[in-house]
Amino acid sequence: MNKKLWVYACCIGAFLAACDNGQQQSGGGGQHDSVAVYLTTPDQQQLFVKQSAIGKTKDTSAINIVMDTTRQFQEIEGFGASVTGSSAYVMQNYMSADKRQALLEELFGAENGLGINYIRMSIGASDFSTDPYSYDDMPAGQRDDSLTHFSIAHDEKDVAPVLKQISGINPNIHIMGSPWSPPGWMKTSGKLEGGSLRPDAYAVYARYFVKYIQAFAAAGVKITALTMQNEPQYEASYPSMKMTAPEQGTFIKDHLGPLLEKEGLHKQVSVMLFDHNWNSPEYPISILDDSAMAKYTAGAAFHCYEGAVGAMSKVHDAHPEKGLYFTECSGGSWSPEFADNLQYMVRQLFIGTMNNWSKNVLLWNMALDEHNGPTTNKPGTGKENRGCMTCRGVVTVNSKDGGVTRNVEYYAIAHFSKFVRPGAKRVYSSALADKGVENVAFLNADGSRVMVVINTTKDERVFSVQEGDIVSYGLKPGAVVTLVWK
């Protein structure tokens, strides 16, 4: 059996943290149990594999990371991805009950799995649904202001059962709901695609959100967060809607916020602004500047597709009392190299967003099939160009046999979600990007400390971590390591 297959067999799919390959890494301090080590290398020879523990040493390396757990920053809520309609479909329809349970326990189990604690779902259809729909579709020209026809029946086939199964594995899971579009009759376009929210539909749309929360609660799924509109600065040929900052602020201040309070849901459900790219920090700042609007909001959410991660710190600097959230980024077949993706995801999406005040990190689809679907895009039917046809899931589920392929996204999440538990605080660690060892550190509620380090150079980097005692580790080019102090 070659080395790579041995790693997979030993680690039961390369996700369990109990496998020790017995190899001492350069710079280690011998066979001690002081600091546990988990490694992923860009050549895929090590995929989140437990290494020999490292013990304390006397001297710091030339590259010395100081960790100070007394200097604490934001509280961490969790890591994960979106259980889209497509994700739920492939798990519900391509996998046997046993295989689905095993995968969900692997992803969401805290003891023997990755411990994923935060997921996002679409309120109605996104571009990653089997077809476009809302929870209250009406014939053209008709309205349903009483929401008499409201129903989550479409999601009761795949989405709700999968979310309920996940909630059974992790009862404390955070579930964020994000709409791609309200029902078409609420919009200036009269359809799910494009347009904006009609001024005379603000009140009924707020009630639509409440009915969504209540309907999923009745289905055994607790919604804990909302964003008002996925990518509100973009109109598309799939369900989408433009929503300006003044429109979003008014909707929250005059309609949704007061209604959530009236219904007693405001303590259960956090309301987040924006949910779009790093290039427009002024959008959430302008809403948070208005105290009457800001009082109903927990903070702002961001995507990765334009701009730079530092925009999140601009919002934090303007409103440090509010939380920041990272809610979407996708890898895909446009970038097939494992090493390149590992570098970008860990460096920018995880270390980068955490060091810029994010309380969570969410990637895009949790699961897709081998054709990057299914999606609302239907080639040859006149329904082309409905979103991304090359996006990759955290895992790929084979449509023929339900087999699972763990993609680079899986390992990027694992390095954080397995050990950085909900309620952890980000703590101070030396920013050494110029030395090629970018890092972020955390203190869990149980006192354990976690640091994730990536080598961004083309040479091995030996670094030390000074946190009371000193430990030293040698990290190959492009590799990622998670260090855990119990």
**Tokens 């809607």 sit at which residue?**
241
Using the predicted structure, report yes or no on whether residue 21 has a pLDDT greater than 70.
Answer: no
Kindly state the average pLDDT of the residues 248-252.
98
Kindly state the average pLDDT of the residues 375-379.
69
Kindly state the average pLDDT of the residues 358-365.
98
Q: What letters, b where the CB count within 10 A reaches 16 and e where it falls short, cover 290-315?
A: eeebbebbbbbbbbbeebebebbebb
Residues 6+ apart with CB under 8 A from 218: none
Mean pLDDT of the chain: 92
* 27-82 residue pLDDT tens: 333 333 589 999 999 999 999 999 999 999 999 999 999 999 999 999 999 999 99
Using the predicted structure, report yes or no on whether residue 16 has a pLDDT greater than 70.
Answer: no
Kindly state the average pLDDT of the residues 223-227.
98
Kindly state the average pLDDT of the residues 429-447.
96
**Three-state SS across the chain?**
CCHHHHHHHHHCCCCCCCCECCCCCCCCCCCCCCEEEEEECCCCCCCCEEEEEECCECCCCCEEEEEEEEEEEEECCEEEEECCHHHHHHHHHCCCHHHHHHHHHHHHCCCCCCCCCEEEEEECCCCCCCCCCCCCCCCCCCCCCCCCCCCCHHHHCCHHHHHHHHHHHCCCCEEEEEECCCCHHHECCCCCECCEECHHHHHHHHHHHHHHHHHHHHCCCCCCEEECCCCCCCCCCCECCECCHHHHHHHHHHHHHHHHHHCCCCCCCEEEEEEEECCCCHHHHHHHCCHHHHCCCCEEEEECCCCCCCHHHHHHHHCCCCEEEEEECCCECCCCCHHHHHHHHHHHHHHHHHHCCEEEEEEEECEECCCCCCCCCECCCCECCCCCCCECCCEEECCCCCCEEECHHHHHHHHHHCCCCCCCEEEEECCCHHHCEEEEEEECCCCCEEEEEEECCCCCEEEEEEECEEEEEEECCCCEEEEEEC
Using the predicted structure, report yes or no on whether residue 391 has a pLDDT greater than 90.
Answer: yes
At residue 104, the pLDDT reads 98
At residue 387, the pLDDT reads 78
Whole-Å CA distances, 423 to 176, 270, 317, 350, 484:
17, 16, 22, 17, 16
379 falls in which pLDDT band (50, 70, 90)? low
Q: Phi and psi for 335 in degrees, rounded to 5?
A: -135, 85
> Please, how many CA atoms are within 13 Å of residue 348, restricted to the half-sphere of its CB?
22
* 322-355 residue pLDDT tens: 999 999 999 999 999 999 999 999 999 999 999 9
Kindly state the average pLDDT of the residues 414-428.
98
Using the predicted structure, report yes or no on whether residue 14 has a pLDDT greater than 80.
Answer: no
Which of 213, 212, 202 minimizes the C-alpha distance to 248? 202
Our answer to whether residue 384 is catalytic in this structure is no
At residue 294, the pLDDT reads 98
Using the predicted structure, report yes or no on whether residue 195 has a pLDDT greater than 70.
Answer: yes
* 282-334 residue pLDDT tens: 999 999 999 999 999 999 999 999 999 999 999 999 999 999 999 999 999 99
Kindly state the average pLDDT of the residues 457-486.
96
Kindly state the average pLDDT of the residues 463-479.
96
* CATH number of this structure's domain 77-419: 3.20.20.80
* 76-132 residue pLDDT tens: 999 999 999 999 999 999 999 999 999 999 999 999 999 999 999 999 999 999 999
Using the predicted structure, report yes or no on whether residue 208 has a pLDDT greater than 90.
Answer: yes
* Superfamily of domain covering 3-74+426-485: Golgi alpha-mannosidase II (2.60.40.1180)
At residue 17, the pLDDT reads 39
Order the strands of the 395-397 sheet from edge to edge.
367-368, 395-397, 404-406
Which of 77, 105, 106, 231 is flagged as catalytic? 231
Domain ranges of the chain: 3-74+426-485, 77-419
Using the predicted structure, report yes or no on whether residue 189 has a pLDDT greater than 70.
Answer: yes
Other residues' Cβ atoms within 10 Å of the Cβ of residue 102: 17
At residue 384, the pLDDT reads 59
Share of the chain above pLDDT 90, in %: 89
Residues 6+ apart with CB under 8 A from 81: 116, 119, 120, 362, 363, 364, 365, 366, 393, 394, 409, 413
Using the predicted structure, report yes or no on whether residue 454 has a pLDDT greater than 90.
Answer: yes
468 falls in which pLDDT band (50, 70, 90)? confident
Residue 93 CA to residue 388 CA, distance in Å, equals 21
Using the predicted structure, report yes or no on whether residue 458 has a pLDDT greater than 90.
Answer: yes
Residue 173 CA to residue 163 CA, distance in Å, equals 10
Q: Phi and psi for 202 in degrees, rounded to 5?
A: -60, -45
Other residues' Cβ atoms within 10 Å of the Cβ of residue 2: 7
Our answer to whether residue 193 is catalytic in this structure is no
At residue 255, the pLDDT reads 98
426 falls in which pLDDT band (50, 70, 90)? very high
CB of 294 closer than 8 Å to CB of 319: yes
376 falls in which pLDDT band (50, 70, 90)? confident
Which of 77, 105, 106, 328 is flagged as catalytic? 328
